[in-house]
Structure 1
Amino acid sequence: MTSAGALSDIKVVELGQLLAGPFCGQLLGDMGADVIKVEPPGEGDPMRLWGQGAEKVQWEVIARNKRSVSANLRIPEGQALVRSLIAKADVLIENFKPGTMEKWGLGPDVLHADNPGLIIARMSGYGQTGPYSDRAGFGGIGEAMGGWRYIVGEPDRPPSRMGVSIGDTLTATYGCIGVLSALHVRKNTGKGQVVDAALYESVLQVMEGLVPEYDRTGFIRERSGSILTGIAPSNVYICKDGEYMIGANKDSLWQRLAEAMGQPELGTDPRYATHLARGENQLELDERINAWTKTLTVDDVDALMTHYSIPAGRVYRAPEMLADPHFKAREAIIEVETERFGKLKMQNAFPKLSETPSGVRRPAPSVVGQHNAEVYGEYLGLSEADLAELAAAGAI
C-alpha cells in the first residue's frame, strides 16, 4: 500500500474489546490513522480467539493497521501510563460499560484537562445518559431494543439474527462518522468533544419508517421471512441448480421482468401493474416467478436479467466472492501477509477514495504488547529500563 491515507496525521488510542470499539478503530486505521490498540497484559483482546472454522482468523481483519501495547487499566500505574498516551492522541475510542473510565480516573473531564482537543468516541449499549445507561449491553441486545430482531425471521417462528454482529458494526460505523465530524469541527475551534454512540440507537437509525408508521397509523411491522412486505417482486428465487436474487419492485422493471419470463401480458395485468397491486398480491406473484425460475439454471436467469437490465444477482458465499471477476477487478478482496497465518485473503478497506485511498498498511499484531517499546518510546520517550519497571509493577 503506497498511499498514507486520508487520516495519516491522526493518532488514535483504542481501548475496549470485542467488536464495537475495535471495528471503529479498524475503520479509522484503514483510512490511515495511527491506531494504538491497548490490550490487557497476558490474554489481550478476546477477539484474538474469535471466528469460525478450524483456525480463528477474525482478529487479522479487525486488528489490521494497528499497533498493540499492553496496559493494566485496573492498577494506578497502568491508568497513569494510558492517561499519558491519550494526552498525545487526537482520538480515543472506548466501549466499556458507562462509568468504567471514570472509575479508572480516565473520564472526559480529566482527559480534556490534559488534552483539550481530544475526541472521545464512547460506544455502549444504551448510551452515556438515561435510566439504562449503567446496564451492560452487547450488540444483540441493541438489535432487540432498536427494533431489528423483532422483524427478522419467519412469521411463525421466534425472532432470528443476522449471521454477523450487525449491532456492533453499525455502532462502530456511526461512531466513526461522529469522529470524522468532530475532527472537522476541531479544525475551526481547536476543541475536542465526546461522541456518544449507543448500540440500540445505531440500530434504530436504520429502521426506516418503523416508528412513524406506528405513530401515524398504528401499524406494527412484523416478521416477513425473505420478503419486505409490500415490496414486490424482490426475493430470492429457486433455480434448477441454485438460488438467485431478483429485485424488480418498480413498474418499469416489473414490465421488463414479465417480458424476460415470456409473459409480457403480466406487466399490465391489474393484479401486478402497480406498486400497490403487486404488494397486495405479493405471495402469488412470487409463486409465479418461482415457477418460472425453477425451469432454468442460475446462468440462464442471470443472462436474461442482464439482457433486460433488471437488478439481480447470484447469492454468494466466500468461494463465489473469491472467484468473481468483478471482485477481482475492484480489489474488493485482497491478500495480506499476516504474521500468524501467512498470506490471508480478506475484505479490502472501504469506501474507495480517489486521491487518498484507504488500505491495509500493516498486518494485525500477533502478540499482546508487541509494540510496547516502539510506541511507548515514540509517544512518551520511555526507555527499556522504564518499561522493565512498568512490567515489574504489573502495569504492562
Structure 2
Amino acid sequence: MPGPLQGIRVVEFGTLIAAPFAARLFAEFGAEVIKVESPEGGDPLRKWRKLHGDTSLWWSLQARNKKSVVLDLKSADGADAARQLAASADVVIENFRPGGLEKLGLGWDALSALNPNLIMVRISGYGQTGPYRDRPGFGAIGEAMGGIRYTTGDPSTPPARVGVSLGDSLASLHGVMGALMALLRVKTGQGGGQVVDVSLVESVFNLMESLVPEYAMFGEVRERTGGALPGISPSNTYPTADGAFVVIAGNSDPIYRRLMRAIGREDLADDPSLATNPGRVARNAELDAAITHWTSGRNIDAVLEALDLADVPAGRIYSAADIVADPHYQARGMLLNTTLPDGQPITLPGIVPTLSETPGEMRWTGPALGEHTAQVLADLGLGADAIARITAKEK
C-alpha cells in the first residue's frame, strides 16, 4: 500500500537531530527524502553514540528510507546541483543557523524564485527573526529557555534534563506539522509556498501548558515537583517493595475514589473534602503518603495487578530492556526486526502514528555516505561530466 506522502519530494539540508528527524518522518510515510551531506564525513550523527563497525546505530534509524547525496555546497557545481534539487522539491528542511544557507546562495529568496510552491522548513535555536536569531542554539538550550528544564527534577536538586534530545524532537514534530499544513494549502490551490519558521525554544515553550498565565495573573512561578504533577492530585511516582517504581494517575474524581478503595482507604475515598481536585491538591502530601505506604508493602506486579482490577491508570517505569520484552510493544509493531547492510540483525523502533489504511513502513536502514549521489543527479538531468566532477569531490 503506497504511503500517504508518496509523490512528495523532500530535500534535507540538515545534520544531527532536528531537521533529520523531521525528514525521517516524511520518509516513513512514503515521501522521497534526499539527504544532502557534506563530502567531509557527512552528517556527524553517523558517528554518535554506540557504533556498529564505524557507523552509529542511531544512524540506521534516523536516516532510514532516505537517499544520501554528497554535495560540496561551497563549490559552484555542488551549490548548483542543490538549487536544482530544491527546484524539484515540494519541501526543503534545514537546520543551519539563520543566514547560513543564504551565504551559500540557497536561502529562501533564491530557492522560492526557482520554485514558487516550495515549502521551506527552517529549524533554528531562536527562529529566523528576533534579537537572538544569530545565536547558536541546540536542543538543550531550547529546553532550558523554553521552560521545561526549570520545572524538571526534584526541588532539592538542580534542574534536570530528560535523557533524550527532547528539544530537537519537539522542533522536528512542529516542523512536520507546519510543513503538512503548508503543503495542504499548495495542493488544494489556496496559495503558493511559504517558510515554516521553527524555533527550538518555542517548540518547547508550546508544551508548557498554563505556565505563563499562572505567572501573569497570580505571579506564581511553577517549580520542580519531582515525580508529581503540580496542581493535580494524586499523580506521582511511588516506590514498591522490590525496588521498582510505579506511576499512578488517580487524578480524576471517580478514579481517585477507586484508587483509595483499592489501597484500603475508604475513609479517604468517602471524605467530601477530597471529592474534587482542589481539595485533594490541598492535602496532596497526605494522599501521597497513603499511596506510598500501600505500594511500599507490595512488589511491582502485585501493585499493577490490584490497580488494573480497580481500573486505575498505572504503569511501571520502563527501561530499554522492559520495552523490548513487552508483548504490547511487540503486538503493536513497535519493534521492527531487520538487518543492517552487512547482515547484522537489529531491532529498531516502529513507526508512529499508526494509520489504518496507509501505514508508514521501513524500506531500508540509513544509507552509506553518498550511496545515491549518481542516481539522484542523473534523475535531475545532469550529464555524465557534471556528475563525475561532483562525485570526484566526495572522495
- Pairs aligned (count): 391
C-alpha deviation, 1:341, in angstroms: 6.3
Q: Considering only aligned residues, what root-mean-square deviation do their CA atoms show, in Å?
A: 1.7
Matched to 1:177, the amino acid is M
1:99 aligns with 2:99: yes
1:53–1:381 distance in 2 versus 1, CA, 3 Å: closer
Larger displacement relative to structure 2 (323-332 or 202-211): 323-332
1:238 aligns with 2:236: no
SS of equivalent to 2:149: helix
Show the counterpart of 1:214: 215
Aligned counterparts of 1:54 and 1:86: Cα–Cα separation in 2: 33
Aligned counterparts of 2:224 and 2:345: Cα–Cα separation in 1: 41
Check conservation: 2:374, 2:391, Cα contact below 8 A: no
Check conservation: 1:12, 1:91, Cα contact below 8 A: yes
Aligned counterparts of 1:382 and 1:345: Cα–Cα separation in 2: 38
Check conservation: 1:18, 1:45, Cα contact below 8 A: yes
TM-score after normalising by structure 2: 0.95
Decide which of 311, 315, 323 is 1:309's aligned counterpart: 311
Check conservation: 1:339, 1:364, Cα contact below 8 A: no
Show the counterpart of 2:44: 46
Matched to 2:232, the amino acid is I
Aligned counterparts of 1:100 and 1:228: Cα–Cα separation in 2: 41
Show the counterpart of 1:228: 229
Show the counterpart of 2:59: 59
C-alpha deviation, 1:234, in angstroms: 1.1
Q: Give the alignment of 1:1-396 within 5 angstroms.
A: 3-52=1-50, 56-187=56-187, 188-189=189-190, 191-241=192-242, 242-270=244-272, 272-340=274-342, 342-365=344-367, 367-378=368-379, 380-392=380-392, 394=393
SS of equivalent to 1:159: coil
Percent identity at matched positions? 46
Structure 1 ranges of 4+ moved more than 4 A: 52-55
Post-superposition CA distance 1:56-97 (Å, at most 9, x none): 311111101101010111222211111111111111000000
Aligned counterparts of 1:86 and 1:219: Cα–Cα separation in 2: 48
TM-score after normalising by structure 1: 0.95
SS of equivalent to 2:303: helix
Post-superposition CA distance 1:106-145 (Å, at most 9, x none): 1111111111111100000010011111111100111111
SS of equivalent to 1:391: helix
Matched to 2:375, the amino acid is E
Aligned counterparts of 2:51 and 2:103: Cα–Cα separation in 1: 38
Matched to 2:351, the amino acid is A
Larger displacement relative to structure 2 (312-321 or 199-208): 312-321
SS of equivalent to 1:35: strand
Aligned counterparts of 1:78 and 1:166: Cα–Cα separation in 2: 33
SS of equivalent to 1:335: strand
C-alpha deviation, 1:382, in angstroms: 2.9
1:54–1:62 distance in 2 versus 1, CA, 3 Å: closer
Check conservation: 1:78, 1:395, Cα contact below 8 A: no
Matched to 1:285, the amino acid is L
Aligned counterparts of 2:134 and 2:350: Cα–Cα separation in 1: 36
C-alpha deviation, 1:54, in angstroms: 7.8
Aligned counterparts of 2:194 and 2:294: Cα–Cα separation in 1: 57
SS of equivalent to 2:57: coil
SS of equivalent to 1:344: strand
Check conservation: 1:122, 1:197, Cα contact below 8 A: yes
Post-superposition CA distance 1:264-302 (Å, at most 9, x none): 121123564331122122222212111111111111111
* Runs of 5+ unmatched residues, structure 1: none
